[in-house]
Structure 1
Amino acid sequence: MANYVVGDLQGCFTPLKQLLQEVAFNPARDHLYLVGDIVARGPDSLGCLDFVFRHQDCTTITLGNHDLHLICNVMLGNAPNPKDKLDDLYKHSKLPEYLRYLSSQPLCVYLEKYRTFISHAGIHPEWQIEQALSLGQWAQQKYMGNEASQFLPAMYGKESRLVLDKDEQSRFNTIVNVFTRMRFLTSQWHLDFDNKGTLDDAGELRPWFTHPRFQTDQNRYIFGHWAALQGITHVPNVTALDTGCVWGGPMTLLDLDKNEQISSN
């Protein structure tokens, strides 16, 4: 049995198939973790989502911002943004089944065997793993339950502070922002929503994983979302797997057992 983690798909199905063929992925034996953003911007979001749906017994997705955005827009009856290239997916008869499956997926997971935490955008430095998992589970109950129509349409916003004790919507938004949108933080470790650049573009901001906590943490952290990093964090126990496949870069797969990365052509 092998365990793999793959960076953002964003509708790029062909590179995913190439990587899985290269490692001889066996759905009956192996498990595939995907860091989120299964859909949007690439040429075949339908192919990507159909694949994970058909292989749901051996796949786990930590939802990304594009995944939640898709669930929300379909729920509201909004037409897809042309730049997201989702027309084929919207027209597909299985779309409701696909979205029910997506909604059943978590925001973060912890793999005890590998001492590895996985989420789409990372973990806030002020949250320990146990707290992060608890917060993720709380938010998941909201987006997969009857309250989804209340919480998802109001999840957008730019509250930079961590607001967990004010009201449930603010709590939900904070959790979603950390796990699906976080990149740079301010000197007070508040979220910055505007800078999506490289480490050289930080200015007075700080990448979330440069907090001193991660220098001594014995756990490993795997995330996607931040294509501009091109897989580089300079922190040994923090691994960035979004290497910008949808923007012309490779797709990257990590073999957890061998601790080896493989990139698509």
Structure 2
Amino acid sequence: MATYAIGDLQGCLSPLVQLLEQIQYHPEHDTLWFAGDLINRGTESLETLRFIKSLGDRVKIVLGNHDLHLLAVSHGFGKLKRGDTLAEILTARDRDELMDWLRKQPLYHYDESLNTVMTHAGIPPCWDLHKTQTLANEVENILQSDRVDDFFATMYGNTPDKWSDELTGLDRLRTITNYLTRMRFCDENSRLDLESKEGVNTAIKGYAPWFNYPTKVPHDCHIVFGHWAALEGKTQQARIHALDTGCVWGGSLTALRLEDKQRFSTPCTLNRKKT
């Protein structure tokens, strides 16, 4: 029995199948964690979503920014962007079933036995585990409520860019969402820079990768995240594990076995949809 955390799929089902063969995944004994961004940019987004859903209870998922983008567009908010590969999902016969399943997925997952937490983008320096879970639950609750359209109508945007317990309403929900699904760089006060998207050496003055700051997460707890392909899987932090190794961009797809932290990877076998 083993638990494997896998980085951003972004619609790359064929490399996933190869990776599962490599690790000799057994659906009755092993558990898979997916760090978000299941779909978009790759050429197999619909097939990927169907496959992950079919795995049932042996899968733990957190939502990424691309997953939320798909949900927003499916609810009539936001627009498909150049390079999006979501149209096939939006016109699929099982679209409603897939969207209902996706909307019920969390933004935060913690396993006490493995002492490991997963979100799509990481955990900001200003939050501990309890606060992260509590705030993630606020967004999860709105996603599953009859107010979900209000959330999607105001989800996009880079402000507020700094957490405050005084934040309320939709501004509060947008800020939580940005920390959990879009964060890369921040300053010492956890103020976000959501414009910079490249490697660690491209931070603007006064900002650094979120994992370079002291954390409120217990020092024996491991953090796994995706989202940041430019890291190439490296954080230089022994207990903070970057899993997005850029499969959709011609890199590789990575799995981390959580029991012993051994990594496995398979090269990309697909080309991103040309735009």
Q: Which category describes the TM-score, using the shorter chain as reference length? A: over 0.9
Deviation, 1:216, is: 7.3
For residues 133-212 of structure 1, the aligned pairs below 5 Å read: 133-159=133-159, 160-204=161-205, 205-212=207-214
Deviation, 1:166, is: 3.0
For residues 52-63 of structure 1, the aligned pairs below 5 Å read: 52-63=52-63
Deviation, 1:78, is: 6.4
Instruction: Give me the whole-angstrom Cα distance separating, in 1, the residues matched to 2:231 and 2:79.
Output: 31
Q: Point out 4+ residue stretches in structure 1 off by more than 4 angstroms.
A: none
Opposite residue 180 of structure 2, the aligned amino acid is F
Deviation, 1:161, is: 1.1
Aligned counterpart, 2:121 = 121
TM-score (norm 2): 0.92
Question: In the alignment, is the contact (CA less than 8 A) between 2:163 and 2:190 conserved in 1?
Answer: no
What fraction of aligned residue pairs are identical, expressed as a percent?
A: 36
Aligned counterpart, 1:238 = 240
Cα offsets for 1:214-256 (capped at 9, x unmatched): 7972211110000000011111111000011111100100111
Cα offsets for 1:143-172 (capped at 9, x unmatched): 122111111220111121114423221111
Instruction: Give me the whole-angstrom Cα distance separating, in 2, the residues matched to 1:245 and 1:231.
Output: 11
3-state SS of 2:110 partner: strand
3-state SS of 1:263 partner: strand
Instruction: Give me the whole-angstrom Cα distance separating, in 2, the residues matched to 1:214 and 1:4.
Output: 25
3-state SS of 2:75 partner: helix
Opposite residue 201 of structure 2, the aligned amino acid is D
Whether 2:28 is the aligned partner of 1:48: answer no
Q: Which is worse superposed, 187-196 or 76-85?
A: 76-85
Aligned counterpart, 1:229 = 231
Question: In the alignment, is the contact (CA less than 8 A) between 2:9 and 2:37 conserved in 1?
Answer: yes
Aligned counterpart, 2:92 = 92
Listed as ranges, the gaps of 5+ residues in structure 1 are none
Instruction: Give me the whole-angstrom Cα distance separating, in 2, the residues matched to 1:52 and 1:195.
Output: 30
Aligned counterpart, 2:132 = 132
Q: Which is worse superposed, 194-203 or 98-107?
A: 194-203
Question: In the alignment, is the contact (CA less than 8 A) between 1:163 and 1:174 conserved in 2?
Answer: no
Question: In the alignment, is the contact (CA less than 8 A) between 1:122 and 1:179 conserved in 2?
Answer: yes
3-state SS of 1:251 partner: strand
Opposite residue 130 of structure 1, the aligned amino acid is H
How many residues are paired up?
Answer: 265
3-state SS of 2:223 partner: strand
Deviation, 1:11, is: 0.5
Aligned counterpart, 1:255 = 257
CA RMSD of aligned residues (A): 1.6
